[in-house]
Structure 1
Amino acid sequence: MKITRQTLQRSLLLLVGGVGLQSQASASGNNLLIYSIAAVALLLLFFIIISVADNFMVLDLGDKKIDKSKVNMGLYPRMSELFGKRRPEYLEGENYHKLTRGYDIPLEGAPAATIDVQTKATRFAIMPPDFDGLMPIPKVTVEEGDAVKAGDVVFYDKKKDRIKFVAPVSGEVLEVKRGLKRSIDSIIILADKEQVSREYELPSPHAERSELVDFLLESGVWPSIRQRPFNTVADPELTPRDIFVTTFSTAPLAYDSKLSIAGREEEFQLGINILNRLTDGLVYLGLDGREDGPTAYGRVANAQKHYFEGPHPAGNVGIQAHHIHPIGNAQDTCWTMDVNGVLTLGTLFLKGKYDTSRVIALTGAEMADPRHVRTYAGANIGELYAGTNFENVRAISGDVLTGHKVGFDGFLGFFDTQVTVIEEGNEPEIFGWLLPIKPRASISRTIPTFGKLAPTTNSHGERRAFVVNNDYERVMPMDVYLTQLMKTIMISDFEAMEGLGIYELVEEDVALAEFACVSKQPLQYILRDGLRLMQQQG
């Protein structure tokens, strides 16, 4: 007779119930103590037998390729099975990952789930610093006063001249703005009222890989593809092991990517089809497992779909890659692409035009009406907030963890999907660390958080020596010893950096740990220094 897990669990319940009835029946007798001791001994013996069977069961199944996050390999039910939220039916049988480590910062200013079509920008910029791995002074091919179409080449890297960077919109070049040491900071374009795209001679979506690569390089879509390790513009000379696409963000006050794909499902599907032609491996699609029902992304074909549920940073493509097929070494090349990049790629092959239109979120507690707007890559932030008066605030391109301070005269980063406005924290707090009178977000239980908070830029302390605790591990759903890794970067220990998993990380993966860091260490800057060192070492 085959003894199943359910049979053993039912037997345990019957035995406990039978012993309880027997104890009650004998309570009136003189042998109550003896029966009680016998019942406890019998229960202990049965528990030992079941525990040994449970351990053997886990050991027996441990060598088999079974996802432990999906299957309970023991006899005892998990707490999540007894009291946890039931998984929606549409996720049954799907690749599902429930991440428990992380933290959702409770901030005010989340955007409304609608798109404001009245907000417009007239100036747009393409900025070389948005693309890691380029020379600081690329070759600029336009001058002030030139007329350009969307998709016209405006600059390229002198060392990688095959990769072309193009105008996000059609219009007139207003300024080639330079930064320190004559580096190119941005190329600013005054947009036409009616957008015009450069014309393309399209190859077949089923063309040879080399032909597709050459076309994408010339078209200007190629810089939308980023390469891991190092998070640089993808190297066209390499064939990636896999390509990862995440379809949602868990960052603070993140935009709703479902608004981006609405009405553009065909373009997104075609973009995924093209990506499959660029790799010998798989295209992995990371989907939001927190949804109550399937979304348009769930209907996408030609990709292996994985659903992720959990707090931030569950939406990061690096976190998803870690749980699907992690990067092991510097030669383990993978490419990544976001929703907007896939849509631009699909629109190019479907309609024959270069289109960087996208939905972004205008967020922050200082805004009276946080909302989504439709614009183009590199939009001027001040024009997006036209008519709104702010005092003592900071405008950030991106979210509060990974974004950059740009001000209202700055422009939206090429890969950013939101703008965040928060109060400047330039008012000192006397004994703020000792008397946390003002509510603030914290992973520590000593500072309780109630409801949503209006953050400031105050860091509540200064940089100090590393304090070794488990705060990093509490917010990072990756098997990485982050404290040790940061220390090895600071002493340039290349072998230790590689052994501790630096190739799996980019700045956004450690941003939440930087927020939780009691030592106030700039983990993102330290990590980028380490990645540059490893890249230089080859």
Structure 2
Amino acid sequence: MSASIKIKKGLNLKLIGEAEKSLLELPVAEVFALKPKDFVGLTPKMLVKVGANVVAGSPLFYDKNNEAIRFCAPVSGEVIEIIRGAKRVILEIKILADRAVKYGSFTKANPNDLSPKEITDQLLQSGVWPFIRQRPYGTIANPSDSPKAIFISAFDTNPLAPDNDFVLSGKESHFQTGIDALQKLSTGKIHLNVKANSSPAPAFRGAQKVQINTISGPHPAGNVGVQIHHIDPINKGEIVWYLHPQDVVIIGKLFTEGIYDPLRIIAVTGSQVSSPKYYKTIVGSSLKNILTDAGLKKGDNRIISGSILSGTQVAADGYLGFYDSQVTVIPEGNEYEFMGWLAPGLDKFSVSRTFFSWLTPNKKHDLNTNLHGEERPFVMTGQYEKVFPMDIYPVQLLKSILIEDIDMMEKLGIYEVAEEDFALCELVCTSKIKSQEIIRHGLDMVRKEFS
């Protein structure tokens, strides 16, 4: 039976720079990069060397902890560089792309006619499997596990997030084929969660073999972790898989066309973008041409692959993250503000009534990365609880991680959360605590303890 969930706690951060609904496709980027750091808990083992020629779907490396999980080239071309960091940790595998992408061939089949093992093998061999992630831990799903449910959030409530109804337009067939494949991999339900009081895209509205739930409320209502918590909470020993809608389309295209084609429609947004719009690109693409076309305003800019709240900083010639469908550009905010605390702050964002900006709640702000202070003692303020819509004590959970008390972490709900669920807590925190880093440390600690 479908669920209808109303989220009351949270915060919608209104920012300048929303992408207009126009889609542009530029020529294929010259260079692509796959970054192992995009995958939590991954220890990569290379399968190719510099100079190797690959096609889209050729394996580049595998997970040393689970050799069945392969990571494949998103385009065809030549492997031109393998960048390593300290202790020879692999940071990037760069590919000089062909002008026209050549694809490796995989079996075309209707997932309804295949066994779960045949579907799993196809997903693993093609490099599509890493798009399927799991809670707890936020890691790539283990193909030998059987999840109790699969979650797909059809909408994103992050600031300036792409509109998935626009992005999924015309992809109804591939989306349904992807659902058909996923349905074979779990004995539980596939929960497709749509925004309440809206008209979902035909791909979502007409989806079969799913339970369509409606969710309303402010951010983080679109976070899959919040949706899992309110629909089918995770207990110790249980596993839930989740995907983004565009990842489901990639799975569908694998079976209908027999190719690994990780196309990604991204929204280039932010106050420092002259012409925010949508671009059709490929996972791992260089952002240089896209940002040049969108036009960056003068000044010291912070470029983020992903959401402004939980994305990853990249250079102007950096690369799109594996799971990202948004690029955000905002001012760096490294200029000193003389006696800024004395000003009335009509243009400053605040969740409290510190500044007079609370008088204009619908105003869109131009935020930068300035913290307006340094890290302070971690005190109880009640701020976290106002924006954290789970039945979990967020401050107590963070402090249990800081003292590395695994038993207490389990009792306080560590299995139900991931970094993105604490992004708003980090935003509103008076103490400037890096909540997302702490949550990742706790998740890694528990994962290693019970692995």
CA apart distance, 1:432: 3.1
SS at match of 1:308: strand
For structure 1, the 5+ residue unaligned runs are 1-92
CA apart distance, 1:181: 2.0
- Once residues 350 and 227 of structure 2 are traced to their aligned partners in structure 1, the CA distance between those partners, rounded to angstroms, is 25
- Once residues 192 and 348 of structure 2 are traced to their aligned partners in structure 1, the CA distance between those partners, rounded to angstroms, is 35
Which amino acid letter does the alignment assign opposite residue 121 of structure 1?
A
- Once residues 354 and 168 of structure 2 are traced to their aligned partners in structure 1, the CA distance between those partners, rounded to angstroms, is 42
SS at match of 1:386: helix
Write the mapping of 1:46-57 to structure 2, written as runs, cut at 5 A.
none
CA apart distance, 1:209: 1.5
- Once residues 289 and 371 of structure 1 are traced to their aligned partners in structure 2, the CA distance between those partners, rounded to angstroms, is 25
For structure 2, the 5+ residue unaligned runs are none
- Once residues 396 and 63 of structure 2 are traced to their aligned partners in structure 1, the CA distance between those partners, rounded to angstroms, is 35
Q: Identical aligned pairs, as a percentage?
A: 42
Tell whether 2:97 aligns with 1:191. yes
Pick which of 443-452 and 484-493 moved more: 443-452
**Structure 2 equivalent of residue 419 of structure 1:** 327
- Once residues 339 and 292 of structure 1 are traced to their aligned partners in structure 2, the CA distance between those partners, rounded to angstroms, is 16
CA apart distance, 1:118: 4.0
**Structure 2 equivalent of residue 26 of structure 1:** none
**Structure 1 equivalent of residue 439 of structure 2:** 527
CA apart distance, 1:211: 2.4
Asked if the contact 2:9/2:387 (under 8 Å) is kept, the reply is yes
- Once residues 336 and 425 of structure 1 are traced to their aligned partners in structure 2, the CA distance between those partners, rounded to angstroms, is 35
Spell out, residue by residue over 1:418-441, the C-alpha distance to the aligned partner (whole angstroms, 9 max, x if none): 111111111122343454536222
Write the mapping of 1:336-415 to structure 2, written as runs, cut at 5 A.
336-386=242-292, 388-389=295-296, 390-415=298-323
CA apart distance, 1:517: 0.7
SS at match of 1:465: coil
SS at match of 1:125: strand
**Structure 1 equivalent of residue 385 of structure 2:** 473
Q: TM-score, normalised by structure 2?
A: 0.94
Tell whether 2:229 aligns with 1:317. no
Write the mapping of 1:26-65 to structure 2, written as runs, cut at 5 A.
none
Give the count of matched residue pairs: 443
**Structure 2 equivalent of residue 489 of structure 1:** 401
- Once residues 279 and 437 of structure 2 are traced to their aligned partners in structure 1, the CA distance between those partners, rounded to angstroms, is 31
- Once residues 430 and 156 of structure 1 are traced to their aligned partners in structure 2, the CA distance between those partners, rounded to angstroms, is 52
Larger RCO, structures 1/2 (Cα 8 Å, 6+ apart)? 2
Tell whether 2:107 aligns with 1:180. no
- Once residues 242 and 203 of structure 2 are traced to their aligned partners in structure 1, the CA distance between those partners, rounded to angstroms, is 20
Which amino acid letter does the alignment assign opposite residue 520 of structure 1?
K
Spell out, residue by residue over 1:241-286, the C-alpha distance to the aligned partner (whole angstroms, 9 max, x if none): 1111111111011011123221110000010111110011111111
Tell whether 2:359 aligns with 1:453. no
Asked if the contact 1:283/1:304 (under 8 Å) is kept, the reply is yes
**Structure 2 equivalent of residue 107 of structure 1:** 15
CA apart distance, 1:295: 4.4
- Once residues 384 and 190 of structure 1 are traced to their aligned partners in structure 2, the CA distance between those partners, rounded to angstroms, is 17
- Once residues 93 and 280 of structure 2 are traced to their aligned partners in structure 1, the CA distance between those partners, rounded to angstroms, is 21
- Once residues 433 and 313 of structure 1 are traced to their aligned partners in structure 2, the CA distance between those partners, rounded to angstroms, is 29
Asked if the contact 1:122/1:383 (under 8 Å) is kept, the reply is no
**Structure 2 equivalent of residue 254 of structure 1:** 161
SS at match of 1:395: strand
C-alpha distance 247-292 of structure 1, shift in aligned 2 (>3 A): closer
**Structure 2 equivalent of residue 238 of structure 1:** 145
C-alpha distance 483-140 of structure 1, shift in aligned 2 (>3 A): same
Asked if the contact 1:106/1:441 (under 8 Å) is kept, the reply is no
Question: Which protein has the larger Cα radius of gyration, Structure 1 or Structure 2?
Answer: 1
Write the mapping of 1:202-221 to structure 2, written as runs, cut at 5 A.
202=108, 204-205=110-111, 206-221=113-128
Q: Kindly report structure 1 stretches of 4+ aligned residues shifted beyond 6 Å.
A: none
Q: TM-score, normalised by structure 1?
A: 0.80
SS at match of 1:275: helix
Which amino acid letter does the alignment assign opposite residue 269 of structure 1?
Q
**2:73 aligned to 154, 157, 167, which one?**
167
**Structure 2 equivalent of residue 499 of structure 1:** 411
C-alpha distance 369-467 of structure 1, shift in aligned 2 (>3 A): same
SS at match of 2:193: strand
Asked if the contact 1:381/1:410 (under 8 Å) is kept, the reply is yes
Name the one with the larger helix percent.
1
Spell out, residue by residue over 1:172-227, the C-alpha distance to the aligned partner (whole angstroms, 9 max, x if none): 22211112221111111122222221011345513221222222111111111101
- Once residues 393 and 144 of structure 2 are traced to their aligned partners in structure 1, the CA distance between those partners, rounded to angstroms, is 33
CA apart distance, 1:334: 0.8
